[in-house]
């Protein structure tokens, strides 16, 4: 992983950090919450995604907000717990694990969400002030264009740069990897943006 961390964790500690983060991140809150609310399987509507943007397409804004919060906090919890128990190195690995867990949850045959909320939660746990950069870019792009995917992509580009300029190269390295994965996971959204067929924020169906 890029960065200036001097790795001192043992291999078992790295594996445990990664797996613990993965299991935390793989909890599909969007699916769980919509089913608990009697709204069925969120994967059957809109983009088929389990994230907050697709939950919003159910018309339940509060449930979408709760999904966003839960998906973010699972990244934060993974990072904070790992840092408390094993240090910063473990926190970085657990953060990556949580992000990958949301993208590829074992419980859903490795078909998860786009990871933006969990990405944000990991960022909150590792560099809270840079969350403001993410939020400013996301909100600005969302307000201008009303495309959640475009806002997320712009924020994902901005975050590693901001982290590096902020003097956190080790965290910037992690987020450079996570941002690249985020962009790759949004390849269908990018195609739809280019063709003008991408759904806007607030659209149903």
**53-91 pLDDT, tens per residue?**
788 788 888 998 999 999 999 999 999 999 999 999 999
- Asked, for residue 4, whether it belongs to a domain, the answer is no
Q: Can you give the residue range of the structural domain that contains 45? A: 11-195
- Asked, for residue 136, whether it belongs to a domain, the answer is yes
179, 158 Cβ separation under 8 angstroms: no
- Asked, for residue 79, whether it belongs to a domain, the answer is yes
Which residues are CB-neighbours of 161 under 8 A, at least 6 positions away? 172
pLDDT digits (tens, 9 = 90+) for 124-148: 999 999 999 999 999 999 999 999 8
Distance between the two ends of the chain, CA-based, in angstroms?
A: 39
- Asked, for residue 111, whether it belongs to a domain, the answer is yes
- Asked, for residue 6, whether it belongs to a domain, the answer is no
Which residues are CB-neighbours of 20 under 8 A, at least 6 positions away? 78, 81, 82, 94, 97
Whether residue 3 is predicted with pLDDT greater than 80 in this model: the reply is no
pLDDT digits (tens, 9 = 90+) for 19-28: 999 999 999 9
Whether residue 108 is predicted with pLDDT greater than 70 in this model: the reply is yes
How far is the C-alpha of 120 from the C-alpha of 117, rounded, in Å?
5
Structure tokens at 95: 């953060």
Predicted local confidence at residue 203, as pLDDT: 65
- Asked, for residue 2, whether it belongs to a domain, the answer is no
- Asked, for residue 77, whether it belongs to a domain, the answer is yes
Mean pLDDT of 102-119: 92
How many residues in the chain? 205
* Region label for 86, one of left (φ > 0), alpha (ψ between -120 and 50) or beta (otherwise): alpha
pLDDT-based confidence at residue 204 (cuts at 50, 70, 90) = low
- Asked, for residue 43, whether it belongs to a domain, the answer is yes
Domains: count for the chain:
1
Predicted local confidence at residue 200, as pLDDT: 84
Rg (CA), the chain: 16
Whether residue 162 is predicted with pLDDT greater than 80 in this model: the reply is yes
Mean pLDDT of 168-178: 97
* Global pTM value: 0.89
Residue 38 has, within 13 A of its CA and on its CB side, a CA count of 0
Which residues are CB-neighbours of 126 under 8 A, at least 6 positions away? 79, 91, 92, 95, 168, 171, 174
Which residues are CB-neighbours of 187 under 8 A, at least 6 positions away? none
How far is the C-alpha of 80 from the C-alpha of 82, rounded, in Å?
6
């Amino acid at each position: 992983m890029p960065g200036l961390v001097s790795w001192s964790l043992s291999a078992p500690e790295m594996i445990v950090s990664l797996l613990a983060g993965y299991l935390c991140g793989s909890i599909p809150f969007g699916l769980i919450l919509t089913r608990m609310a009697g709204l069925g399987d969120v994967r059957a509507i809109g983009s088929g995604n389990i994230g907050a943007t697709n939950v919003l397409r159910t018309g339940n804004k509060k449930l979408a907000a709760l999904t966003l919060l839960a998906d973010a906090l699972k990244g934060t919890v993974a990072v904070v717990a790992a840092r408390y128990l094993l240090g910063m190195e473990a926190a970085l690995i657990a953060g990556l694990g949580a992000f990958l867990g949301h993208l590829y949850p074992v419980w859903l045959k490795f078909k998860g969400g786009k990871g933006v909320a969990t990405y944000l939660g990991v960022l909150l746990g590792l560099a809270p002030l840079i969350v403001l950069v993410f939020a400013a870019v996301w909100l600005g792009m969302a307000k201008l264009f009303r495309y959640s995917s475009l806002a997320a992509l712009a924020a994902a580009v901005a975050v590693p740069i901001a982290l590096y300029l902020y003097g956190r190269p080790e965290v910037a390295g992690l987020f450079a990897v996570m941002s690249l994965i985020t962009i790759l996971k949004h390849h269908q959204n990018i195609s739809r943006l280019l063709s003008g067929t991408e759904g806007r924020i607030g659209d149903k169906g």
